Structure 1
Amino acid sequence: MSTMIKMVRALTAAAAIAVAAPAFAAGDGPHIERQQWSFAGPFGTFERGQLQRGFKVYQEVCAACHGLRQVAFRNLAEEGGPSFSEEQAKVIAAEYTVVDGPNDEGDMYDRPAILADKFPSPFPNEQAARASNGGAYPPDFSLLAKARAAHRGFPWFVFDAFTQYQEQGPDYIYALLTGYEEDPEGVEVPVGQYYNHSFLAGQFIGMAPPLSDELVEYTDDTPMTTEQYARDVSAFMMWAAEPHLEARKKMGFRVMIFLIVFAGLLYFTKKHLWRNVEH
């Protein structure tokens, strides 16, 4: 009898958590709307033009503070990425300077970057980065689309697993970049910070609004708006965090086809082997 009571209590507690978790996730954090991404879903792919535009936004706006130290210049020309040519990637790399060495005298020296190099950090160390940004530390962009996401509570994340929805990171980055507002009436924003209703760590953020209309020039007739810039750079950051996304999805589809065929073969083999045996 006591075992039955314990089971009932456990089921009651689990049901309470299932009901409370979505309310907690939705009530205590900012509401992040889902966006439509070309790379979403099991058959999603990156849009090459969008990745190139996103890189342009990163290079002209974000790179002044945020590094990309896990991405090599050669990745820009690899399959599944922005599809720059090798020559274009070499030109981009030559615009950067990296520290190399030591030389024969034991000294470090600067040289133009090559395809094998990774994007250098805009600051030599964390202390220099904080000193240049009022104490705030600009995070590296390499894995940010995976590290920053407004995850939904139980049971909603179960549905996301079945629908293969993995774009919470780009959704959050887009919401953050477009979430700046004028200081609301009655809200005192600390000095050196800005009001952003989508910021997960609170509504005050140390980064000034980085984007504005007509800030970056596009040459493909794409609208030059804050929203478009935010969408493009979010897609680029998703590629930086998962450069082999397309290859992974293709392999996953092939594995599923193999498993279905293999399961069918096992079933018919079993039927054949046991056809004369009474059950």
Structure 2
Amino acid sequence: MRLRRIFAAGAGTALIGALALALTAGGTRSVAADQSAATAAPALEENPAPARQSWSFYGPFGKFDRAQLQRGYQVYHEVCSNCHSMKLVAFRDLASSSGPAFSEDQVKALAATFKVKDGPNEAGDMFERPGRPSDYFPSPFPNPQAARAALGAAPPDMSVLAKARDIERGFPLFIVDAFTQYQEEGVDYIYALLNGYSKADNPNYNEYFPGHRIAMPPPLSDGVVDYTDGSPKTVPQYAKDVSAFLMWAAEPKLEARKSLGFAVIIYLVIFASLLYLVKKRIWAKVGPH
């Protein structure tokens, strides 16, 4: 009880002292407080909203651009796959007619450029072999701990990255998005992130990454990927292509979903119209009471 009284008395004295100090200060701020606020300002800096891009797969009738998906795969293969896995996507998916639409021979050749762990063999040992179309994209590291030890951070898997990196637009904008059917916030974010390295003297500063400090240095630079179809070999073009490819990887059935959804809407409109006509015909024989 005595200790509690002493603590209460001490707290009361501290509170009175704080009030007196505040009243004496007259609402002014000290130079030290101003410097502290200035130091904390960058940490409180908000991330800008990524600009909306024009995507071929936007809207109820949107479709993937096959040439863009093939270029995006090239960027992923030559740049991103050195650190990022895509374990939910199989090589054979690259032959999908609603995806990159590579030929079967191309898929076999592309799969063979990856090393896949298999086994055990007859001696009971695991071994590496060239990839097959039935294999899934392998991880460049055996486990997240090895990736963290090599890079300082474990890179995220890219299988559903375009869907996982969503942007909260808040009320009432998310209601507007429901009517416009805009679902590309995640792919907009990936594109903005790849173009968001705005400080040459700080390779880990990214304008769009939360906190503005990202473990990944700029992965793209002009000319790093050799396009053969005449497309610009620039960072914005690389970013646009690989972002579209990651959108396909996250939702490979996007075109089928939109086609089915449109057919369901048409069915519901016709069904509702028939119900209305039947209702009018039945109740037309019933006079007013």
Q: TM-score range by the shorter chain?
A: 0.7 to 0.9
Matching of residue 262 in structure 1 with residue 271 in structure 2 = yes
Structure 2 Cα separation of the partners of residues 106 and 72 of structure 1: 26
May I ask how many residue pairs the two structures share in their alignment? 244
Residue number in structure 1 paired with 2:157: 140
Please report the RMSD computed on the Cα atoms of aligned residues, expressed in angstroms.
1.4
Compute the displacement of 1:89 (Å).
0.5
Match of 1:16 in 2: none
* 1:45 lines up with 2:66 in the alignment: no
Give, as a single letter, the amino acid of the residue that structure 2 aligns with 1:223. P
Q: Of the candidates 57, 65, 77, which is equivalent to residue 59 of structure 1?
A: 77
- 1:85-116 CA distance string (max 9 Å, x none): 11100111111121122234433222221111
AA of the residue aligned to 1:52: Q
Larger radius of gyration: 2
- Specify the alignment match of 2:215 in structure 1: 206
Distance 1:234 1:92 in 2: 20
Is residue 2:137 matched to residue 1:128? Answer: no
Which of 163, 166, 182 matches 1:149?
166
Q: 2:132 matched to which residue of 1?
A: 114
Give CA deviations for 1:224-272 in whole Å, capped at 9, x if unaligned. Answer: 1100000000000000000000000000000000000010111111111
Task: Name the aligned partner's letter for residue 176 of structure 2.
Answer: F
Which residues of 2 match residues 1-279 of structure 1 at below 5 A? 28-133=46-151, 135-182=152-199, 194-199=204-209, 201-279=210-288
Amino acid at match of 2:168: H
Shift of 1:29: 3.3
- Displacement of 1:219 in angstroms is 0.8
For 1:62 and 1:130, locate their aligned partners in 2 and report how far apart those are by CA, in whole Å.
16
**Identical pairs, percent:** 60
Separation (CA, whole Å) in 2 of partners of 1:93 and 1:198:
33
Tell me which amino acid in the other structure corresponds to 1:196.
N
**Unpaired segments ≥5 residues, structure 1:** 1-26
Conserved in 1, the CA contact under 8 Å of 2:47 and 2:207? no
Letter in 1 for 2:142: P
Residue 7 of structure 1 corresponds to: none
Moved over 6 A (4+): none
Please state whether the residue corresponding to 2:211 is helix, strand or coil.
Answer: coil
C-alpha separation between the residues in 1 aligned to 2:76 and 2:150? 19
Give 2:243's aligned amino acid: S
CA apart distance, 1:183: 6.0
| Equivalent residue, structure 2, for 1:3 | none
Write out per-residue CA displacement over residues 16-58 of structure 1, whole angstroms, 9 at most, x where no aligned residue. xxxxxxxxxxx84322110000001111000000000000000
Partner amino acid, structure 1, of 2:167: A
The gaps in structure 2 that reach 5 residues or longer are 1-44
- Distance (Å, rounded) in 1 between the aligned partners of 2:215 and 2:138: 23
Report the AA paired with residue 84 of structure 2.
H
- When the two structures are superposed, what TM-score results if normalisation uses the length of structure 2? 0.81
Q: Which amino acid aligns with 1:128?
A: A
SS in 2 for 1:220: coil
Q: What letter matches 2:174 in structure 1?
A: F
Give the Cα separation in 2 of the matches to 1:105 and 1:194. Answer: 46
TM-score (norm 1): 0.84
